[in-house]
Amino acid sequence: MDVSILILNYNTCQLTMDCIHSVFASQTRYTYEIILIDNNSSDNSVDVLSATFPSVKMIANHDNVGFAKANNQGMRIAKGRYVLLLNSDTVIQPDTLQTMVAYMDENPQVGASGCKVLLADGTLDKTCKRGLPTPSASFYYMFGFSKMFPDKPKYNQYQLSYLDPDEEHPVDCLVGAFMLVRSEAIREVGMLDENFFMYGEDLDWCYRIKQAGWAIRYYPRTFILHYKGASSKRRPVKLLYEFHRAMVVFYRKHYREKYAWPVNGFIYTGIGVKFTMTLIRNRLRPVKDTQDPPTGGGESPALPVRGEACSAKISNF
């Protein structure tokens, strides 16, 4: 088996169907398996998806165990030389698997790679090529310097907006919505850290893969579509909490021992202030009217529902 494709579903029946259909439409000589992990959906996803895709391996959880733990469940039964984390709110292109697996085969020093990720409006999902969120990178990002000086490397250490999105680049971090990882690297560094519930686990994984000596590469010779949702809608407080908690978990794990206590105090205070301001802004937004999203991968907490195949079976929380 060449590739084990892990897809996490959480009340996104139609999105997941579209994602799987795009995988089955792949034009590739490589063999693959799809492992679908459901995090206790309430929209009848398990029955619908199992009946629609009998060849897909299904893991049906009785609780929402989060992104990291659910994908780890899939990895434990994966048989592929590579593991692909693929969000349910994505659609791959017919050449995506062929292009990316061939690239990994031709570059054995690469532990993880990601392709170009486009949003529904055709713009680049900037999370698909990132630097590490060091204190300086986080400061320039959180206080808007990266937007004011998008072409300056000093101020864009995190989103790397100064890099040409149409060219291959070594990067520090990819996005969990599409991340192709060599199984050998996984055996060396371990699976996703389950201390992260639904954000930050992709950053942490890339950090550990790179620390072990593997290269991380952004390879835009193919692309996927990522249907992240409307930022104008109000987001569940739990998602906002987990997003900011992930910042604390990542910093404590990788940076706390490297910096003096004043820097650490500034970082924790900054996260707290950002969380507070985010809650205030979120409160002023209209209540979301879209389907709740899958957990994971630093994703937006509101996703549009496409198609009609599962619409009669979707219920709101």
3-state secondary structure of 133: coil
3-state secondary structure of 251: helix
Residue 295: pLDDT band with limits 50, 70, 90: very low
Other Cβ atoms less than 10 A from the Cβ of 260: the count is: 7
Q: Which range has the worst mean pLDDT, 73-77, 111-115, 196-200?
A: 196-200
- The CA distance from 140 to 261, in Å, is 20
Q: Which range has the worst mean pLDDT, 14-18, 39-43, 288-292?
A: 288-292
What predicted TM-score, i.e. pTM, was given to this entire model?
Answer: 0.85
Residue-wise DSSP of 6-47:
EEEESS-HHHHHHHHHHHHT---SS-EEEEEEEE--SSSHHH
One-letter amino acid of 86: L
Compute the C-alpha angle 44/47/51, nearest 5°.
140
pLDDT > 90 fraction of the chain, expressed in percent and rounded: 62
Residue with tokens 């959180």: 142
The answer to whether residue 231 scores a pLDDT higher than 70 is no
Looking at residue 70, its pLDDT comes to 97
Per-residue model confidence as pLDDT tens digits over 174-183:
999 999 999 9
Residue 292: pLDDT band with limits 50, 70, 90: very low
- The CA distance from 304 to 228, in Å, is 8
Could you tell me if 183 and 79 are in contact, meaning their C-beta atoms sit under 8 angstroms apart? Answer: no
What is 3-129+165-226's CATH superfamily?
Answer: Spore Coat Polysaccharide Biosynthesis Protein SpsA; Chain A (3.90.550.10)
- The CA distance from 157 to 129, in Å, is 11
- The CA distance from 217 to 111, in Å, is 8
- The CA distance from 200 to 242, in Å, is 9
Residue 120: pLDDT band with limits 50, 70, 90: very high
Mean pLDDT, range 26-31, rounded to an integer:
98
Tell me the residue ranges of DSSP E strands in the chain. 3-9, 32-39, 57-61, 82-87, 90-92, 110-119, 169-170, 178-182, 215-226
- What's the mean pLDDT when you consider all of the chain? 87
Main-chain dihedrals φ then ψ at residue 85, nearest 5 degrees: -80, 125
Tokens of 69: 């733990």
Could you tell me if 8 and 1 are in contact, meaning their C-beta atoms sit under 8 angstroms apart? Answer: no
Tokens of 195: 């201390």
Residue 209: pLDDT band with limits 50, 70, 90: very high
Residue-wise DSSP of 74-113:
HHHH--SSEEEEEETTEEE-TTHHHHHHHHHHH-TTEEEE
Which CA distances in Å does 255 have to 207, 248, 259, 262, 269?
A: 12, 10, 7, 13, 15
- The CA distance from 202 to 192, in Å, is 8
Per-residue model confidence as pLDDT tens digits over 236-271:
788 888 888 888 888 888 777 788 888 888 788 888
The answer to whether residue 294 scores a pLDDT higher than 90 is no
One-letter amino acid of 44: N
Mean pLDDT, range 74-92, rounded to an integer:
98
- The CA distance from 301 to 298, in Å, is 9
Looking at residue 104, its pLDDT comes to 98
| Beta strand 90-92 pairing with 82-87 | unpaired
Length of the chain: 317
pLDDT > 70 fraction of the chain, expressed in percent and rounded: 88
Looking at residue 6, its pLDDT comes to 98
Looking at residue 233, its pLDDT comes to 60
Compute the C-alpha angle 299/225/101, nearest 5°.
100
Mean pLDDT, range 271-290, rounded to an integer:
76
The answer to whether residue 306 scores a pLDDT higher than 80 is no
Residue 217: pLDDT band with limits 50, 70, 90: very high
The answer to whether residue 314 scores a pLDDT higher than 60 is no
